[in-house]
Structure 1
Amino acid sequence: MISIANALMAEITTAAEAAYPDECCGLLSGFGEADKTLTITGVHTSDNVTDGTARDRFEVDPKIRFDVMRELEGGPERIVGHYHSHPDHPAQPSEYDLKMAFEPDLLWFIVAVDEGRATETTAHRVDADATAFHEIPITTDLKDPS
């Protein structure tokens, strides 16, 4: 199960709506394990630096990733996943997402954005041999992570 504060979920959906009709992207930090409870404590927005079309592809800026890794170094939190949006498509991993799933330990948060409005967010993890994604339930609460 994934636990995330409403305020952090709102950051993700706001970024997804702002990027429409392109895909947004960013990193998620937190602690715990997805097979028990993984708590998201940070949302780190990135420019979409894809070489392809940003309408159906995303790439997190490597500088953001290194900055977040340095920020979290030595503490209990780590990068636990990333998020991106699917403009005018469901919040389900695409074939391209599966092709790009190089790190099986990372979560994939996907936000469906229909006509500029976020409609659904799902969380997924790729299996060990990178042949399929498995959805993981998300719970939200009213507490601010600070």
Structure 2
Amino acid sequence: MIELVTDLVIELPRNQRDVIATHVAADHPNEACGLLLGHKVGARFVVHQAVASQNIADEPNHRFEIDPGLRLRLQKTARDGGDIIMGHYHSHPNGVARPSETDKAGIFEADLVWLIAAVAGGRLQDIAAFMPWADCGGFDKIELRET
């Protein structure tokens, strides 16, 4: 079990949680994924928008891969003064809202928040937030505050 061991907080507006819930339900039984846009103030990550991505993974029912074209477009917007990409979300169909071994193996950016959504019966059951370790070897659970 991953314990809450950090002072980091991610603030997720209810309407953006609803965006994620709708997306993960629509993509079930495959994993859904997307990017989180917003800003960071100290130890607080503030989500302004959850942007759905097509899951381009070869095995979308077991893995996720965010469309790099979407990411590039959003990075350009950030350079032009928009919100930054501060994290991403993905679902675990018929799973739990915590990182899998596949997730741990897929960490390559330690500065992005991970939201993991547990889905059962095509509906969002739980959502939790995690921050990768600096060495990309695992995760710490962080507080998820719905606003």
Q: State the TM-score, normalized to the length of structure 2.
A: 0.90
2:138 is aligned with 1:135: no
Structure 2 stretches lacking a partner, 5+ long: 1-8
- Distance in 1, matches of 2:80 and 2:133, equals 28
Residue number in structure 1 paired with 2:21: 13
Residues 98-146 of structure 1: per-residue CA shift (max 9 Å, x gap): 11100000011100001111100011011011222111111112xxxxx
- Distance in 2, matches of 1:25 and 1:55, equals 12
In the TM superposition, what is the alpha-carbon distance from 1:71 to its structure 2 partner? 1.5
- Let me know the Cα RMSD of the aligned residues: 1.2
Residues 3-52 of structure 1: per-residue CA shift (max 9 Å, x gap): 1110001101110011000000010011115x62110111111100012x
Worse overlay, 73-82 or 93-102:
73-82
Given the superposition, is the C-alpha separation of residues 65 and 128 from structure 1 closer, same or farther in structure 2, using an over 3 Å criterion? same
Letter aligned with residue 38 of structure 1: F
Counterpart mapping for 1:1-146 below 5 A? 1-33=9-41, 36-51=43-58, 53-75=59-81, 77-141=83-147
SS in 1 for 2:62: coil
In the TM superposition, what is the alpha-carbon distance from 1:75 to its structure 2 partner? 2.1
SS in 1 for 2:30: coil
In the TM superposition, what is the alpha-carbon distance from 1:77 to its structure 2 partner? 2.4
- Distance in 2, matches of 1:27 and 1:126, equals 16
Ranges of 4+ aligned residues in structure 1 off by more than 4 Å: none
Across the two proteins, how many residue pairs are aligned to each other? 139
Q: State the TM-score, normalized to the length of structure 1.
A: 0.91
State the identity %: 35
- Distance in 2, matches of 1:29 and 1:94, equals 24
- Distance in 2, matches of 1:44 and 1:62, equals 13
SS in 2 for 1:128: coil
Give the number of the structure whose residues are more often strand, by fraction. 2
Structure 1 stretches lacking a partner, 5+ long: 142-146
Letter aligned with residue 15 of structure 2: A
Letter aligned with residue 51 of structure 2: H
